[in-house]
Amino acid sequence: MVDILIVSLSGTHGLEEADTELAASLRRAGASVARVTAKAPPDVRTFMLTDLLWARAARAATAGAPPARATVYSSTTAALLWPRPGAIRFDAAARGNRPGRHGLWQRRVERRRLAEASLLLPWSAGALEEAGRAAAERPSVVIPVPVERSGPPEARDLAAVTYGANPRKKGLDRVLEAWSSARRGDEQLVVAGVREVEVRRRLGEGAAATPGVRFAGTLRRVEYRALVRRARVFVTAPRREDYGIAQLEALADGAQLVTTATPGPYAALPLASALDSRLVGEDLRGALRAALDSPSADYAERARALMDPWRRDAVDAVVAEQLLPALLGR
């Protein structure tokens, strides 16, 4: 029997990395950890069916897992059809990111699971608040995903970078529209995480042909973080943000964060506002020019100081001192 079993979904790189970090932190705290990963289901047309297939895959993975003193379900989706109660770790709840018909059955079942969970492990305080009363009444420990500086500073030879995977949700169309009017001279915006052909298919020919834009496609982690270290600005305009790991990474690597004040438990938003309020709001064009023409003094140094709670040693302390005793009842 192991101490902790983590039931993972393999849907996104962010979830995968978050679970890898949690397992490593628990082991550093002295716990034995096993991890099972739900098998990715086929693509389907609706969120309701997508979540059902993922929940069934998580249930199957849990049924074949080794016995454990405590189980952590990574996301409320993984817990929807759980075979036994446990703790639930989540970046955002269906109550927030599955509105209307997209979450007709998920929101109802999620309320029950949150109320039955032994412990809630939101990535942020905002995620816990958004989950509602069912979550507020349960014991909880906020466990952020660690974000570290990725390497030594590099020459800031790129004007701006954005991350465009899932272009519509990330608001890539809004970023490209703002860039088309904000750009001056030979300034370049590099779009990572998506290929030009996909942008053309999803957002149209005009978006793909925005002047001064280079589409880098999918990059290895080390390549992507090196790209961000070269950027003066990281710009984003998501229609909703469940956490914003890319924005936190940009702050850790010293890029100025230009962003809309989007709904959702957006962990980087209060940091961006505190660092330079000119760079947060609906006027992306004005924010871009402010960041490029008159950057705030010592922005990178102040950003790294604000990122202290996301450092790996800080998260390790929370895991050892709060999470592990709560999971194992000691």
**Are 301 and 190 within one domain?**
yes
Number of domains in the chain: 2
The answer to whether residue 151 is domain-embedded is: no
pLDDT tens digits for the chain (330 residues)?
A: 999 999 999 777 788 999 999 999 999 999 999 999 999 999 999 999 999 999 999 999 999 899 999 999 999 999 999 999 999 999 999 999 999 999 999 999 999 999 999 999 999 999 999 999 999 999 999 999 999 999 998 899 999 999 999 999 999 999 999 999 999 999 999 999 999 999 999 999 999 999 999 999 999 999 999 999 999 999 999 999 999 999 999 999 999 999 999 999 999 999 999 999 999 999 999 999 999 999 998 999 999 999 999 999 999 999 999 999 999 986
**Are 136 and 181 within one domain?**
no
Domain CATH number, residue 255 = 3.40.50.2000
CA atoms lying within 13 Å on the CB side of residue 79 = 30
- Candidates 182, 186, 178; CA nearest to 289 is 182
Q: Are 211 and 187 in contact (CB under 8 A)?
A: no
**Are 166 and 252 within one domain?**
yes
In this predicted model, what pLDDT tens digit does every residue of 191-239 receive, in sequence order? Answer: 999 999 999 999 999 999 999 999 999 999 999 999 999 999 999 999 9
Of the chain, the end-to-end C-alpha distance in Å amounts to 17
**Are 305 and 189 within one domain?**
yes
The answer to whether residue 304 is domain-embedded is: yes
Q: Tell me how far apart the alpha carbons of residues 248 and 267 are, in angstroms, rounded to a whole number.
A: 8
The answer to whether residue 153 is domain-embedded is: no
Q: Structural domain of residue 24, as residue ranges?
A: 2-146+311-328
**Are 126 and 180 within one domain?**
no
